[in-house]
Amino acid sequence: MGFWSINPYVGCEFGCHYCYARETHQWAVERAVGRYGGTAVREGVEIRDTETGRVTDVPPYRPTALPPEDAFEKEILVKTDVAEVLARTLNPARVAGHSLVIGTATDPYQPAERQFRLTRRILEVLQSYHGLSIEIITKSSLVTRDLDVLQSLSSQNDVTVNISLATADPRLARLLELRSPVPAARLRALQRLNQRGIYAGLLVAPIIPGVTDDWAGLARLLEAAKEAGARYVVGSALRLGPAARHRFLPFLTREFPALAERYRRHYAGSDYVNQSYQDALDRRLRLLKQTFGFSVEEGVRRRRRLEGRLPRKEAARSVEQPILL
């Protein structure tokens, strides 16, 4: 990848039907079981059951009985020593020129963060560095709990918080994202971040064809983002990998049956939308950004940066030790 990534948890309690990261739980289980022959010992990792709240140590790790698309949101792996590992192994020379993104395959401010505070500990570790490019991606208003650390971090690093929101419609949001904070809460968080001097914008992701891509719905979302003081808007179309398809397509059949067969045909051969749809969506987003006074160039730059295609030119300094992150 063209960026570095930190995920303090494996899995996400928010349970968004479309989530592209559902495979990650399966990968973690396969690595653990494969390495230790079914009796994995993963030092410093715990598992949290989202229904009971019970936390147990991973060793010995049992292969989950749930399919990956369900285990992802019901059994959260907690990397309890993530901050210590980061402090020991972060090498700014290796990171230089690239973004360090927190929350690429999990939400770093999901409910588990209230108990474990791993994301805050990560940010506290990063306070000892200068010149890093740090991105956070979250759906949660809990990010505002860490305003003090984010302000300190921003004084010596390039920090950006991406608030992810697919729709401003609370009923549609609850349908798509079972346990995510309501849109109004996320927009308030976006406003608070910007009011306190944190560079924050809106990540419209995913944009779901036929569901959240209409002009009126996107216009309402961008208007709300403008009112909240968003510094930019980035839009990204739906991506459906195998595990996500197993969860999303039955949901689509139930809630949007007129779209289900078209989705099955298209996503049977690709995880991404086709180029003609992407081009049309880009045109729509460009017009909407111009309408509400957002920079088109900044949105494109942010999107490419999150996708790892636009490394920063500035280099991080203060190399401590030649160890890979």
Could you give the strand order of the β-sheet that contains 9-10, starting from the edge strand earlier in sequence?
9-10, 75-79, 45-49, 55-57
Enter the tokens of residue 263: 């989705």
Per residue in 118-148, pLDDT (tens digit) is: 999 999 999 999 999 999 999 999 999 999 9
Q: Among 58-67, 241-250, 278-287, which is the least confidently predicted range? A: 58-67
* Distance (Å, whole) CA 46 – CA 29: 13
The per-residue pLDDT for 183 is 98
- The boundaries of every CATH 3.80.30.30 domain in the chain are 4-9+80-306
**pLDDT at residue 24 tops 90:** no
Q: Is the pLDDT of residue 283 over 50?
A: yes
pLDDT recorded at residue 304: 65
Mean pLDDT of the chain: 85
**pLDDT tens digits, one per residue of 103-112:** 999 999 999 9
The DSSP 8-state label assigned to residue 168 in this structure reads: S
- The token pair that represents 108 in the structure block: 């770093």
pLDDT at 22: 85
Quote the pLDDT of residue 38.
42
- Per-residue pLDDT tens over the stretch 197-249: 999 999 999 999 999 999 999 999 999 999 999 999 999 999 998 888 989 99
Most confident of 60-69, 90-99, 166-175: 166-175
Round to whole Å and give the CA distance between 13 and 72.
8
How many other CB atoms are found less than 10 A from the CB of residue 63? 12
Give the separation between CA 55 and CA 80, rounded to whole angstroms: 12
36: pLDDT strictly greater than 80 = no
Token duo for residue 267:
């996503």
**Do residues 102 and 119 touch, judged by C-beta distance below 8 A?**
yes
Residues in the chain: 325
261 Cα distance to chain centroid: 28
**Contact status, residue 79 vs residue 113, Cβ threshold 8 Å:** no
Burial 161-192 (b: 16+ CB within 10 A, else e): bbbbbbbbeeebbeebbeebbebebbbebbbb
Q: Residue 251, Cβ neighbours under 10 Å: how many?
A: 14
What is the CATH topology of the domain spanning 4-9+80-306? pyruvate-formate lyase- activating enzyme (3.80.30)
Give CA 182 to chain center in angstroms. 16
